């Protein structure tokens, strides 16, 4: 049974308009209104914005077989919150408190589309967790990919996206940005101030992209 990281992220906020204005200006995301709602897209990740009570960003897993995925996720320790079936919201919470939607996609689907222009928002998602090594093993098993030890934690690559797992106080997923890829890098620098991590007014955490580590120490298969 295969799961992949999806480039789709769900955001909820009582007042979407100010969030959309900030993200389209600061992160140069492109708004797209459709029957599925409002989507803010980049070359790496897409953010679906819904009105509602603010909560941590919802990540997404893709699978070729939603029917088979359901009992497997339960066996892995996921708590099922909402399950509406193919093409709809299937929301679960994993044993580390991270919320996921599960979406069925055909095995031959290849996304996101890789753009030669480097994006501001990078295809990297960070999780800060108390039990980072245990979490790395859990996500490596879930995604059927190796977890690579780095000086600051662990990384797992799936579907062109890197999951970064680091020890720390849990606060929901965080997303990496690179000011060097922005048309207005000064605006991003001012947003972060003297910090490497910043949480915006909508509860979403952003991280300045660090330099690649010089080496790695171990791999969990």
Structural Rg of the chain based on CA atoms: 17
For residue 95, being part of any structural domain is answered with yes
What mean pLDDT, rounded, does the chain reach? 90
CATH code (residue 195): 2.60.40.4320
For residue 79, being part of any structural domain is answered with yes
Q: Number of structural domains, the chain?
A: 2
Phi and psi dihedrals of 75, rounded to 5? -65, -30
CATH code (residue 40): 3.10.180.10
CA distances from 93 to 74, 126, 173, 193 (A): 10, 17, 13, 33
CA–CA distance, 146 with 218 (Å, rounded to integer)? 10
Question: What pLDDT does residue 34 have?
Answer: 76
> Residue 72, SS3?
helix
pLDDT > 70? residue 215: no
Domain range for 9: 4-104
For residue 163, being part of any structural domain is answered with yes
Which range, of 109-123, 176-190, 205-219, averages the lowest pLDDT? 205-219
Question: What pLDDT does residue 220 have?
Answer: 62
CA–CA distance, 28 with 53 (Å, rounded to integer)? 25
pLDDT tens figures, 120-175? 999 999 999 999 999 999 999 999 999 999 999 999 999 999 999 999 988 889 99
pLDDT tens figures, 56-71? 999 999 999 999 999 9
Strand partners, 3: none
Contact indicator for 125, 174 with CB cutoff of 8 Å: yes
Residues 88 and 157 in one domain: no
| Residue range 75-84: mean pLDDT, rounded | 96
Q: Looking at residue 58, what DSSP letter applies?
A: B
Residues 208 and 152 in one domain: yes
CA distances from 174 to 41, 87, 110, 165 (A): 17, 26, 24, 10
Question: What pLDDT does residue 35 have?
Answer: 75
Question: What pLDDT does residue 216 have?
Answer: 46
Phi and psi dihedrals of 192, rounded to 5? -80, -25
Residues 149 and 189 in one domain: yes
CA–CA distance, 127 with 35 (Å, rounded to integer)? 31
Predicted TM-score of the model (pTM): 0.90
């Amino acid at each position: 049974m295969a799961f992949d990281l999806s480039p789709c992220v769900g955001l909820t906020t009582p007042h979407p308009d100010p969030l959309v204005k900030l993200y389209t200006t600061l992160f140069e995301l492109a708004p797209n209104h459709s029957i599925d709602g409002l989507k803010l897209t980049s070359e790496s990740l897409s953010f679906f914005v819904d009105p509602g009570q603010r909560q941590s960003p919802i990540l997404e897993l893709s699978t070729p077989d939603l029917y088979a995925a359901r009992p497997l996720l339960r066996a892995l320790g996921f708590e099922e919150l909402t399950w509406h079936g193919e093409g709809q919201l299937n929301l679960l919470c994993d044993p580390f408190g991270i919320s996921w939607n599960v979406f069925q996609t055909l095995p031959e689907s290849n996304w996101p589309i890789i753009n030669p222009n480097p994006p501001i928002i990078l295809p990297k998602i960070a999780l800060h967790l108390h039990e980072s090594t245990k979490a790395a093993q859990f996500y490596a098993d879930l995604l059927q990919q190796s977890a690579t030890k780095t000086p600051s934690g662990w990384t797992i690559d799936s579907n062109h996206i890197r999951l970064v797992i680091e020890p720390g106080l849990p606060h929901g997923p965080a997303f990496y940005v690179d000011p060097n890829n922005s048309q207005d890098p000064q605006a991003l620098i001012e947003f972060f101030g003297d910090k490497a991590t910043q949480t915006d007014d909508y509860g979403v955490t952003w991280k300045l992209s660090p330099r690649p580590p010089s080496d790695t120490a171990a791999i969990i298969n």
